[in-house]
Every structure is written in C-alpha cells, then in structure tokens.
Amino acid sequence: MGALFATATLAAKPASIVLAIKSAWAGLLAGCLHTLAGADHLAALTPLTIGRSRVKSAMLGALWGGGHSTGQLLLGLLMVLLKDRFNALMPALSKWGGTMVGLTLIAIGLVGIYELYFDRDDHGGDEMEAIGKSASSGRNFAVATYATGIVYGLQPDALFVVIPALALPTKAAAAAYILMFVIGTCAAMGSYTALIGHTTEAMKEKNPWLTQNLTLLASGIAIVIGILVLLP
C-alpha cells in the first residue's frame, strides 16, 4: 500500500510540473496579447516615448506594464476578498474606471503637446542645477508613469489575470500563470516602446520636424481616444 502511494505521488509531481509550465506559457502569451491588443494602452505610451532613446523607452514601457499589472492584481485581490459583493461593484468600477482612463489619456495628450511647444530645454545657467532638476523630473515622471499603469489596471479586464488563475487546480500553476502574465505585460510594453523610441530617435537626427509632427499626432490621437472613452 505504501509503495502504491509513493508511486502515485511520484507520478503526480511531473504532472503538476507540466501543468505549471503550461500555465506559465499561457500567462506569458495572455499578458503580451492583452497588453498589445488595447488601443488605449498604446495611445497612452506613444506620445511619451517618441524621440526618447531605446533604453529609456523600454524602461518606460516596462514601468507602465508593472503599474498595469499592479492595478490588475489589486483588483483581483479585491474580488477574492469581497467575493459575492464584488459583483455589485462592477457597474461602478466600469463607469468610473473608464472615466479615469479617458481623463488620463486626455492628460497624456496635453502633456505631450505642452512638452513639444512650451517645455523646451534651457541649456544656460548652472550645469549642476540643471542636472539636479533633470533627475528630479525623471523620478517624478517615472512615478507618474507607474501610477498611470495602475489606473489602467483597475479595469474589469483585470479578470483576465484572476479568473484563469483561480480556475487552475494547483497553487503552483496559478502562481506561474500570474507571474508570467506580469512578465508578458512588462515585456510587451517594453518592446513596443523600445521600438517606437528607437525608430523615432533615428528619425530625429535627420528630420527633427518629423519627430515633432509624430509627437503632435500621437498626442492628438490620445486626446481623441480619451474623449471617445468618456462619451456615453
């Protein structure tokens, strides 16, 4: 009897490992596709990455993806804790969550236009003071990017993360799915923004006016999508 139990246990371990691996791949694919399929996701980051270096753009996208995943996980945790009462929150969440996304998109578009026309770098003055201001501005921008990702994560589509994970039969498989979903989200947004940054940075050296027009276009698209989100 003991030998039979041991054999069954050994057979169960490879099966659970295979399930965890499959769940990890599913989470990675879901994270990538879910992120890149959202027009509002791409519209939110495009105006902010045009003309930046490939590395900075990739970090920006990954940071936004991390915030997005944080918002999704927070919403998923809320769903698990509230259980039956969570359904009553869904209408309000859909309404106000969409409003926040719309307002955020409009704000991103306006910031892009402001930086294009009014926030030009001043190379005069004390160099160390300029470096200090640049570092402080960079930190604030990073925090704002992460916070924007959280706002986008507080949407009903966060259930893409939670429901499959809750449906999986083992904790290891659920953890693998969630972890790889987060990694997929960060990798997808980082790759997208790196591509935008690399392409526009190369164009910026030859045709600065083209980069400015692309920034204006991307900012305008963000504002239009934001308005469409706000419309009933």
Model pLDDT, residue 10? 42
pLDDT of residue 13: 62
> Which of 96, 51, 120, 122 shows the shortest CA–CA distance to 229?
96
Cβ-contact 223, 110 below 8 angstroms: yes
CB 139 within 8 A of CB 88: no
Query: What is the C-alpha to C-alpha distance for residues 70 and 72, in angstroms, rounded to an integer?
Result: 5
Half-sphere exposure of 41 (CA within 13 A, CB side): 31
Residue 148 in contact with residue 67, Cβ under 8 Å? yes
Contact by Cβ (8 Å): 14, 167: no
pLDDT digits (tens, 9 = 90+) for 58-81: 999 999 999 988 988 888 777 777
**Whole-model pTM?**
0.74
* pLDDT of 7 strictly over 50: no
What digits encode the pLDDT tens for the residues 16-51? Answer: 888 888 889 988 998 888 878 777 778 888 887 887
Amino acid 86: pLDDT: 62
Statement: residue 202 has pLDDT above 80? no
**Does residue 5 carry a pLDDT above 50?**
no
**pLDDT category, 152, cuts 50, 70, 90?**
confident
Taking the CA atoms of 19, 24, 25 and 31 in sequence, report the sign of the dihedral they define: positive
Provide the pLDDT for residue 98.
Answer: 74
Radius of gyration of the chain (CA): 22
The answer to whether the beta carbons of residues 23 and 176 sit under 8 Å apart is yes
pLDDT, mean over the chain = 77
Block residue for tokens 């990073």:
142
Q: Calculate mean pLDDT across residues 138-144.
A: 79
pLDDT at residue 84, as a whole number: 62
Residues 92-136 have pLDDT tens digits of: 666 677 788 888 888 888 888 887 777 655 444 454 444 344 445
**What percent of the chain has pLDDT above 90?**
9
